[in-house]
Amino acid sequence: MSNLGYLSLLQGDAVRGIEQCREAARRFEELGIRDEQAGAAVNVAIGLLRRGDDAAALGVVSDSLATYAELGHEDGVSYCLDVVAAGVLRRGDARSAGLLAGAADALRADTGAVAPPLEQALHEETLEELRRQLEPEDLAAALAAGEAVATDEAVVLASELAERRVPTSPSSRPVD
């Protein structure tokens, strides 16, 4: 069911994709398959972003981020960071979005993973928008800061940003 939802999202049918991925997440939860539940929920969040429901997307992805972080699933964390980056960019926080995009890139580079099509498209769209909003040196600084941040710090920052809280720790502050 999660694969069917993913295919619906790939075909541009966000409504059907969200519905199918939500059902898959619910079933995976019933079965206690946490990593698959988190993955299905990331797909829901991407669909919600596609529909323009950024707040709901950030709420959904927060649980996936926590699950992936707890399981040590770095690729899953990277996909969540991309969702949060896209959401906070739409809220006007380009520097934090750049930091999260850089952290997502670094995680995938560490594991040798290539993002699946929806996740890669979201990442590329975020970078494209960041190029429009930030000066090249500011974007480079934000991406470099993200590449240098520890995974646990990126997770804390993304969680705080998704919940619309302002980070208080100097090490998890958005790039100035």
pLDDT digits (tens, 9 = 90+) for 67-104: 999 999 999 999 999 999 999 999 999 999 999 999 99
pTM score: 0.90
Cβ contacts of 91-94, under 8 Å, gap ≥ 24: 91/54, 93/161, 93/174, 94/130, 94/133, 94/134, 94/142
Q: Where are the domains of the chain?
A: 2-172
pLDDT digits (tens, 9 = 90+) for 6-32: 999 999 999 999 999 999 999 999 999
Range with the poorest average pLDDT among 6-20, 38-52, 53-67, 161-175: 161-175
The architecture CATH gives domain 2-172:
Alpha Horseshoe (1.25)
